[in-house]
Homo-oligomer: A and B are copies of this chain.
Amino acid sequence: MPALQKLKEKYIWISHFSSAFELLQWDMETHMPRKGGKWRAQILGSLSEFIQAQQTSAEMGQLLSEAEKEAESEEDRALVRVAKKEYDKFKKIPPELWGKFALETARAQRIWEDAKRESDFSIFSPQLEKVVEIVKELAERVGYEENRYDALLDFFEPGLTVKDLDNIIPKLREFLINVLEKIENSGKPKDVFLGEFDLGKQKELSKRVLEVIGYDFEAGRIDVSAHPFTITISHGDVRVTTRYDEKDLKYSFFSTVHEGGHALYEQGIPESFRGLPIGDGASMGIHESQSRFWENIVARSRPFWEFFKPILVEYFESFKDVPVDDLWRASNLVKRSLIRTESDEVTYNLHIMLRYEIEKALINDEMKVKDIPSVWNEKMKEYIGVVPEKDSEGALQDVHWAHGSFGYFPSYMMGNLYAAQIFYALRKDLDFDGAVKSGNFKSILDRLREKIHIHGKILEPKDLIKRATGEDFNIEHFMNYIKEKYSEVYRISL
């Protein structure tokens, strides 16, 4: 058997264990009884170690070198390229360092929970210092060209560098701060999504909106978890979760559509790529572009509410006399919020910039962990104009650093920026508003499938965006989108 074929079979075999791992994770967040937790952690540990060992075995290294010579099609060449990059990267990291990373981040998570509960960053600080030291060592081992932080970015957004980000951010920040000020001086729409909403009906509504946008319930399902997520168990089995608030319909609705966007991406990856290193989304940022596209660009648009209002009324009659404009405007409330996950399209990226700047400074030894809260609060004041009164609503709000996920936050921003560029490209040959207004989401999904989903991880994000939109990545699209949309929502000139 040719090495390339053997390599593929081996990856698919390993993916069966990854599927088991994903199901164990999903179950832990959604269905597992409390007392199963202790053993579940050990089970996950054994499987994860096994999968890692299989992926970086000497046999895989050998197969990869041989397969490299055999790969001819674009797919096969991409497969070998992606696989080799991952293999080489992970081979550079000694198992002991991975072990230390797993152990100290697991500890950090528990300590972070305590610190958040007590709202005291100093509880978290010493453990976070350890994590930062390990992450710096990981970055050094993996290597980089210009900036140590680039090594971390590459885990989440292949090809993205500090240079790229530092090129984008100042302009974008100035623009967003300016928009925020103008919006604040205009009238504030009423939040019509607040009230009393039966949970059973909310659950039915969640299913309905997912069906409407094209999620295939024969290849997935929706459950409840504390933090919403999307998970691919295997081809034909892509699940989403959400959570509900009886007093706020937005809370579940937009998070459901967001996860639905991730899931549509996963459901669109070709079966022939599955189990292989190219059988994933192109990057975290591209993934986020899809969730943000459906959440913000589709479901927070005026035509969406024109289409969806009668459906909403089927579930909650109280919306019968609420004008479409009020639904649409309430979907797009902008406010100076302390919390990233509750923030709107205008302020979201400002929350990311703040985190990025802190991360970059920490990783490059330009800042100390203990100084995070003061830097955080200063930047909050400067960028968003509000300052947290306690660390739980400030530097302790996100779990990412406890997980050791430095370099992850920027991909959220990239997702927002990519989504806008994809939106304008689609609009060139599609009556987007007309399609949304008539509920023809299939015409939109078909294009996303063709431009993005069916390529899996074959292309790096930059190349994918260029091929999908016909031009290089360009943040002007996002700024145009914000201007166009929010001048309408807030009836101001931007």
Contacts and interface: CB of A to CB of B under 8 A. Distances in A.
A448 interface: no
Interface in A217-234: 217-221, 233-234
Contact of A16 (B33, B46, B220, B237): B46
A27 interface: yes
Contacts of A221: 31, 33
Report the interface size class on chain A: 35 or more
B20 A42 contact: no
A305 B162 CA distance: 72
A21 interface: yes
Interface in A24-40: 24, 27, 31-40
Contacts of A235: 36, 38-39
A144 interface: no
Contact of A37 (B24, B38, B216, B236): B236
Contact of A234 (B39, B219, B220): B39
Contacts of A13: 46
Contacts of A217: 33
A27 B39 CA distance: 18
A372 B62 CA distance: 55
A274 B38 CA distance: 13
A33 B216 CA distance: 10
Contacts of A27: 23, 27
Contacts of A40: 234, 237
A375 interface: no
A237 B219 CA distance: 26
Interface of A is mostly: helix
A236 B43 CA distance: 13
A344 B311 CA distance: 50
Nearest to A223: B31
A393 B312 CA distance: 49
Given A27-B27, A40-B234, A218 B33 contact: yes
Contacts of A43: 16, 19-20, 234
A234 B46 CA distance: 14
Interface string A2-28: 000000000001001101110110010
Contacts of A216: 35
A233 B16 CA distance: 18
A192 interface: no
Contacts of A233: 32, 36
A172 interface: no
Given A20-B47, A36-B235, A38-B236, 6 more contacts: A20-B23, A20-B24, A20-B43, A36-B236, A39-B236, A39-B237
28 contacts: A16-B42, A16-B46, A17-B20, A17-B46, A19-B39, A23-B23, A23-B27, A31-B31, A32-B237, A33-B218, A33-B219, A33-B220, A33-B221, A33-B237, A34-B218, A34-B219, A35-B216, A35-B219, A35-B237, A36-B234, A36-B235, A36-B237, A37-B236, A38-B236, A39-B234, A39-B235, A39-B236, A39-B237
Which 10 residue pairs spanning A and B have beta carbons closest together? A36-B237, A35-B236, A39-B234, A20-B20, A16-B46, A35-B219, A16-B43, A36-B236, A34-B218, A19-B43
Interface of A: 13, 16-17, 19-21, 23-24, 27, 31-40, 42-43, 46-47, 50, 216-221, 233-237, 239, 274
